[in-house]
Amino acid sequence: MKTDECREWRHSLGAYVLGDLPADERAGVQAHLEGCAECRAEAESLKSVAVLLPLADPDRVERPASQPSPELAARIEATIGGERRRGRQRRQRRRFGFALGGVAAAAAAAALAIAILPGGGGGEPEQHVEFGALPGGVKIYATLEPHAYGTEIHMYVKGVRSGTLCRVYLRGPHGERVPAGTFTYRWGDDSDAVLSSALDLSRTRAIGVHAGNRTFVAPVDTGGATASTHSNQEDVT
Amino acid sequence: MQPGALRQERDVREAYAAHSGELYGFAMRSLGDSGLAEEAVQETFVRAWRAGERFDPEVGSLRTWLFAILRNVVIDLSRARAARPRVAEGGVEPSVEPLEQALLAWQVEEALRRIGEDHRRVLLETHFRGRPYNEVAAELGVPEGTVKSRVYYGLKAMRVALEEMGYED
């Protein structure tokens, strides 16, 4: 246990280990340390910090700490979000069994293909929709995920002219169209476009894409709803 | 999923909120350029996210893990920046010693920032600027013994701060 004597010397230990004590006080501390293991241990502990002090630049310490720009967090999130989506896209393509060679023939043969696979947020299924009967070389498919705000849409398009403006919408149970945003298809871009619509996925009956002067529509099976009977390709009005 | 593992974007957001300031501070100290420092922090979180499954909280804290990644990122960025023919001609890899030194120096400076203002002030004035204790005491309007005890408690607090940052002597 610390004695009063220890308490008195302890307050000098900082200056002692830093070598800042006058000679007479220094001798007094040394004499105390020789007879007190507890204070010796304390001095050793402080010394391990004191030896590091010369590394520090006092001017840097007093300068206000610099902070990253507020946009950095958003940039990191965007990078990670992009990687996550690309990873999911790859998994999705594997699930669909998209092999570049066989796609066109398969698409021509099938009027519409719809796949519902487990996954998505909150245990609700996300929906994978493949657009069928497309012109040769064109591929369109989408993943729809339910959210509280509506529906998140990941749209993958390939084979249309680079620079084509694509406008996406969801169609509700009464035929109403709720916009989901736009994107521009660029040749060589293998990423998916991420869009959102206020229409709830459970109320979504179809998804449509205006691409250039053509419109492609695929039904969305939201459980219990019968698939729409409209054509999968519409003329732009 | 292990607790603390960076598997979700939400985990990354939380880790960023908790550690980005320090990581950026060290990156700035090492690279001396705010653009490069931000690049280093961004790359650190992206690498951490990619390797999230490998993070084991039983081996070390998330903070320590992030600093280990940042250290590698800083080395990569420094090498990229300093890539000159003479390095290849000399056949000598750039030493990592200065970086370890920079990390330690940054930790000591950060420890000084974290301790109370009163303690920091006396350490800076007496030890770093070599001013006599009685002069500092007069300036602060406190007894000389108080300056001495602030030096003592300041060092103790620095030790705690350094330990919090993972420093082991």
For residue range B126-149, what is the model confidence (pLDDT) as tens digits? Answer: 999 999 999 999 999 999 999 999
CB atoms within 10 A of CB B69: 20
- Long-range own/partner contacts, residues B8-11 (CB < 8 A, 24 or more apart): B9/A77, B9/A80, B9/A81, B9/A84, B11/B52
d(CA B42, CA B24): 10
**Is CATH 1.10.1740.10 what the domain over B9-90 is classified as, yes or no?**
yes
Q: Is residue A11 less than 8 Å (CB to CB) from chain B? A: yes
Give the pLDDT score at A147: 82
Map out the domains of chain A with their CATH numbers: 4-62 (1.10.10.1320), 71-235 (no CATH)
The closest CB to that of B38, out of A55, A69, A84, belongs to: A69
CB atoms within 10 A of CB A198: 11
Give the pLDDT score at A150: 85
| pTM for the model | 0.55
For residue range B32-90, what is the model confidence (pLDDT) as tens digits? Answer: 888 989 999 999 999 998 887 778 777 788 888 898 899 889 888 877 776 644 444 44
More confident residue, B71 or A112: B71
Cβ pair A197, A146 in contact under 8 A: no
For residue range A190-205, what is the model confidence (pLDDT) as tens digits? Answer: 667 888 888 999 899 9
ipTM, two decimals: 0.76
Give the pLDDT score at A189: 67
Give DSSP secondary structure letters for B29-83.
Answer: HHH--HHHHHHHHHHHHHHHHHTGGG--TTTS-HHHHHHHHHHHHHHHHHHHHH-
Contact A56 B9 (CB under 8 A): no
Q: Is the pLDDT of residue A115 over 50?
A: no
Mean pLDDT, range B91-107, rounded to an integer: 66
Give the pLDDT score at A118: 38
Q: Is residue A52 less than 8 Å (CB to CB) from chain B? A: yes
Contact B42 A79 (CB under 8 A): yes
Q: How far is B94 from chain A (nearest CA, A)?
A: 21
Identify the architecture of domain B115-164 in CATH. Orthogonal Bundle (1.10)
For residue range A29-67, what is the model confidence (pLDDT) as tens digits? Answer: 999 999 999 999 999 999 999 999 999 989 888 888 788
Contact A77 B34 (CB under 8 A): no
Which of A121-125, A189-193, A210-214, B136-140 has the largest mean confidence?
A: B136-140
Strand ranges of the sheet holding A233-235, from the earlier edge strand across to the other edge:
A177-184, A165-171, A206-211, A214-219, A233-235
Give the pLDDT score at B89: 41
Q: Is residue B151 less than 8 Å (CB to CB) from chain A? A: yes
Task: Return residue ranges of chain B for CATH 1.10.1740.10.
Answer: 9-90
With contacts defined as CB-CB under 8 Å, which chain B residues touch A11?
Answer: 145, 148-149, 152
d(CA B23, CA B56): 20
- Among A29-43, A214-228, B75-89, B106-120, the minimum mean pLDDT is found in B75-89
Q: Is residue B158 less than 8 Å (CB to CB) from chain A? A: yes
